[in-house]
């Protein structure tokens, strides 16, 4: 395994060192405007005020009254009087301003501000909730995503609950014995990875899990091995259902009281009580959704992330960090072990292996074939020749597979959601149509006008396919067919269960049934599904997203992993063109190979994650002015701006769409490897200057997002 405290993923270690730099040397003694009695020692409190605006993203000095001396310790929540107005604020001011919340960062003997200091108004609670380690991580995340420290701490520290705070945390339990390797022996380096964790090592691995339900028990064993070394562990999972599975596996392996569960769905009192137990060192292991990625685990020995391609790992609140990047920062900052696992493999995961920062944890091809179901495909040619497919919108092979599968157990039918945006592809080989200048996606325009790039806005009048030389284009399939009704009518004696946005099932019995599910909502069947149908493959492959193929493969693999192995009769039928790369990777069950090839192509075209990108969006004039003012790195390339769509084809509002009635534009800024930190710093500085100016100019919002997930 990769290990050691010196190594770090690209740009992370330099970012952390910069983020934890020391404050300026203080030079002035504090004095309050009322001459109130001050604390005898260290009478200056350096405070981070809870103002999530970039031009106030720094510390402010306050005087510590004598009556607050005992409670005003570093890390506690405080309230201070803060008056910003339109002018630049140097320190806490004596006149005007209201009370705002904040965190006391450190106590000093002197201040570097020569004027009078306002006094701390209140210590909200003597409970220290922010230590130097969490502060350093939050600062690194803020710098990585061009955001404010206060915004990151809102994500990292849950709201206070007085009743939970008064409740004592349980006494910490002694480390458990090291677990056996269990099913980790199925992987070529699995037992060694577990042994390294148990002995106090810090291995780093990208884990391609075998199909089947054993992954949750394998994660639990990795946590148990870390606890056996006397260190803590943190596991971040995409949703409550996966959290429940790992929770059950950990409880079965270690018993009650060894781990805390942190999810956003938990009530405020329960969540804060669990978080405090971790902060106080009573619990050394944490599992949870992205709300847990900042959990203050003591002596962190392992951070793990399951299914990093799931979009639920991307935080929607400013500055919108991704759980994978936060855990990479933590692994670099703490020198702990790192485990990135999933049935699929993202391009970012492949890059970690390619750079040597992490080692692969994979099974042999023989074990993969033994664990995977039989994969079969139905392409366009098969559908055109199939009378049943034309009449009932379901090919004969699918009917046969369902009928046979229902004799032995439940059958899963995955139906994509409606409303994906159509893009253009070569009519002959289906390669996406891309701009010759920036490799962005080409889009059709009204009235037969020339094609236009969705990134840089250039028109393309003479497109031809670089793969096969073809000149004809076709629109990629939009939406999903309603096949659940046909299946219900065709098999009237069989119960039909649905799982989707309105109602997500966790498990279903092992009896024969049709289970129709949207991607990501597939329930686990007792004993595994006898068969699965993956319908309308083009609906997912046609998404306007750089990672459409990767994401489609990830969703297909997740559904197929719930099916029994081929030796037990498990069969999967996918309705998609078999010559397409993601379909071929599914048939071979080769997500790693697909990710490696995608990474090589993105490196050639300058796409993320090899490059770094930022999106700047807002009204056209504001975006143009912002880009003219920002001091971008010399290597930066600006693509666009182009109009920003408000709604998806189904009429639903797009995430991050402009306010109703406004027409916005978006520009993409791309920099080569190693320049991501410089890009984020430049954008953050320009945005802070814009906000500081205030007035009508500052009222026009310009949104900046690092690593936007929806580049086409």
Q: What is d(CA 698, CA 687) in angstroms, rounded to the nearest whole number?
A: 10
Cα 347 to Cα 1, 17, 171, 448, 639, distances in angstroms: 20, 27, 42, 36, 23
Cα Rg for the chain, rounded, in angstroms?
Answer: 27
Residue 481 in tokens: 């067919």
Cα 294 to Cα 227, 323, 334, distances in angstroms: 19, 9, 13
Residue 345 is labelled as binding a ligand? no
Q: What is d(CA 417, CA 419) in angstroms, rounded to the nearest whole number?
A: 7
Q: What is d(CA 230, CA 218) in angstroms, rounded to the nearest whole number?
A: 19
Q: What is d(CA 584, CA 74) in angstroms, rounded to the nearest whole number?
A: 56
| β-sheet bridge partners, residue 338 | 204, 303
Cα 582 to Cα 370, 536, 538, 578, distances in angstroms: 21, 14, 11, 9
DSSP 173: P
For residue 58, the tally of other CB atoms under 10 A from its CB is: 14
Residue 426 is labelled as binding a ligand? yes
Q: Is the peptide bond before 641 cis (omega within 30 degrees of 0)?
A: yes
Q: What is d(CA 434, CA 448) in angstroms, rounded to the nearest whole number?
A: 18
Contacts of 489 (CB under 8 A, 6+ apart): none
Nearest C-alpha neighbor of 636 from the set 599, 683, 690, 572: 683
Continuous segment of H or E residues that includes residue 366: helix 365-371
Residue 438 is labelled as binding a ligand? yes
Q: What is d(CA 341, CA 184) in angstroms, rounded to the nearest whole number?
A: 13
Q: Are 229 and 301 in contact (CB under 8 A)?
A: yes
Q: What is d(CA 50, CA 163) in angstroms, rounded to the nearest whole number?
A: 23
Residue 435 is labelled as binding a ligand? yes
| β-sheet bridge partners, residue 590 | none
Q: What is the 3-state secondary structure (H, E, C) of 531-598?
A: EEEECCHHHHHCCCCCCHHHHHHHHHHHHHCCECCHHHCCEEEEECCCCCHHHHHHHHCCHHHHHHHH
Q: What is d(CA 338, CA 204) in angstroms, rounded to the nearest whole number?
A: 4
Residue 4 in tokens: 């050691």
Contacts of 468 (CB under 8 A, 6+ apart): 426, 428, 429, 431
Residue 468 is labelled as binding a ligand? yes
Do β-strands 204-208 and 359-361 pair in parallel, antiparallel, or remain unpaired?
Answer: parallel
Do β-strands 285-288 and 232-236 pair in parallel, antiparallel, or remain unpaired?
Answer: parallel
Which phi-psi region, left, alpha or beta, contains residue 230 (left: φ > 0; alpha: ψ -120 to 50)? left
Angle at 526 between CA 520 and CA 531, to 5 degrees: 65
Cα 686 to Cα 21, 54, 632, 676, 710, distances in angstroms: 22, 10, 10, 16, 23
Residue 336 is labelled as binding a ligand? no
Q: What is d(CA 443, CA 457) in angstroms, rounded to the nearest whole number?
A: 10
Instruction: Look at residue 151 and give its three-state secondary structure.
Output: helix
- By CB neighbour count within 10 A (0-12 exposed, 13-18 middle, 19+ buried), where does 688 fall? middle
Detail the residues annotated as belonging to a binding site: 426, 429, 435, 438, 453, 456, 465, 468
Annotated binding site for Zn(2+): 426, 429, 435, 438, 453, 456, 465, 468
């Amino acid at each position: 395994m990769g290990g050691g405290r010196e190594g770090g993923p690209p740009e992370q270690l330099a970012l952390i060192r910069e983020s934890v730099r020391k404050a300026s040397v203080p030079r002035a003694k504090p004095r309050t405007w009322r001459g109130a009695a001050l604390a005898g020692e260290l009478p200056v409190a350096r405070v981070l005020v809870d103002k999530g605006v970039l031009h106030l993203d720094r510390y402010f000095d306050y005087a510590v009254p004598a009556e607050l001396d005992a409670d005003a310790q570093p890390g506690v929540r405080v309230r201070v009087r803060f008056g910003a107005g339109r002018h630049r604020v140097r320190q806490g001011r004596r006149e005007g301003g209201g009370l705002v919340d904040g965190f006391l960062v450190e106590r000093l003997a002197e201040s570097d501000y020569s004027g009078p200091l306002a006094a701390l108004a209140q210590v909200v609670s003597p409970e220290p909730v922010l230590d130097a380690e969490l502060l350093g991580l939050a600062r690194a995340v803020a710098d990585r995503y061009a955001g404010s420290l206060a915004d990151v701490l809102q994500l990292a520290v849950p709201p206070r609950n007085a009743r939970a705070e008064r409740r004592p945390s349980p006494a910490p339990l002694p480390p458990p014995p090291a677990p056996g390797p269990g099913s980790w022996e199925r992987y070529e380096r699995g037992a060694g990875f577990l042994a390294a964790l148990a002995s106090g090592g810090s291995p780093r691995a990208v884990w391609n899990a075998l199909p089947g339900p054993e992954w949750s028990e394998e994660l639990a064993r990795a946590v148990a091995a870390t606890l056996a070394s006397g260190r803590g562990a943190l596991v971040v999972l995409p949703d409550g259902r996966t959290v429940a599975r790992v929770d059950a596996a950990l409880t079965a392996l270690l018993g009650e009281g060894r781990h805390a569960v942190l999810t956003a769905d938990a009530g405020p009192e329960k969540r804060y009580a669990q978080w405090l137990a971790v902060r106080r060192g009573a619990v050394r292991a944490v599992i949870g959704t992205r709300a847990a990625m900042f959990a203050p685990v003591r002596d962190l020995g392992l951070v793990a992330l399951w299914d990093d391609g799931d979009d639920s790992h991307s935080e929607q609140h400013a500055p919108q960090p991704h759980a994978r990047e936060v855990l990479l920062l933590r692994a670099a900052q703490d020198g702990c072990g790192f485990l990135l696992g999933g049935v699929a493999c993202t391009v970012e995961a492949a890059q970690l292996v390619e750079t040597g920062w992490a080692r692969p944890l994979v099974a042999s091809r023989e074990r993969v074939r033994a664990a995977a179901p039989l994969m079969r495909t139905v392409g366009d040619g098969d559908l055109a020749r199939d009378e049943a497919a034309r009449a009932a919108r379901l090919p004969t092979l699918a009917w046969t597979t369902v009928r046979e599968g229902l004799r032995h157990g439940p059958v899963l039918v995955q139906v994509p959601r409606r409303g994906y945006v159509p893009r253009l592809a070569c009519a002959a080989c289906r390669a996406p149509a891309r701009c010759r200048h920036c490799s962005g996606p080409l889009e059709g325009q009204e009235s037969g006008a020339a094609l236009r790039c969705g990134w840089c806005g250039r028109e393309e009048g003479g497109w031809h396919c670089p793969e096969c030389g073809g000149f004809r284009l076709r629109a990629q399939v939009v939406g999903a067919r309603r096949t659940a009704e046909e299946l219900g009518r065709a098999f009237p004696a069989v119960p039909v269960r649905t799982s989707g946005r309105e109602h997500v099932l966790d498990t279903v019995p092992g009896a024969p049934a049709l289970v129709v599910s949207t991607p990501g909502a597939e329930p686990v069947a007792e004993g595994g599904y006898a068969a699965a149908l993956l319908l309308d493959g083009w609906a997912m492959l046609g998404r306007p997203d750089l990672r459409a193929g990767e994401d489609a493969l990830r969703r297909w693999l997740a559904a197929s992993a719930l099916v029994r192995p081929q030796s037990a009769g498990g069969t999967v039928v996918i309705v998609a063109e078999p010559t397409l790369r993601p379909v071929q990777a599914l048939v071979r069950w080769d997500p790693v190979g697909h990710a490696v090839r995608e990474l090589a192509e993105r490196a050639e075209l300058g796409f993320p994650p090899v490059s770094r990108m930022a999106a700047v969006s807002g009204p056209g004039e504001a975006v143009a002015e912002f880009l003219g003012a920002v001091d971008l790195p010399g290597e930066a390339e600006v693509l666009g701006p182009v109009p920003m769509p408000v709604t998806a084809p189904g009429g639903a509002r797009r995430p991050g769409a402009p306010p109703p009635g406004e027409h916005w534009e978006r520009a993409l800024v791309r920099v080569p490897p190693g320049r991501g930190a410089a890009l984020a710093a430049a954008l953050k500085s320009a945005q802070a200057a814009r906000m500081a100016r205030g007035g009508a100019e500052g009222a026009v919002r310009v949104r900046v997002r690092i690593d936007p997930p929806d580049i086409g």
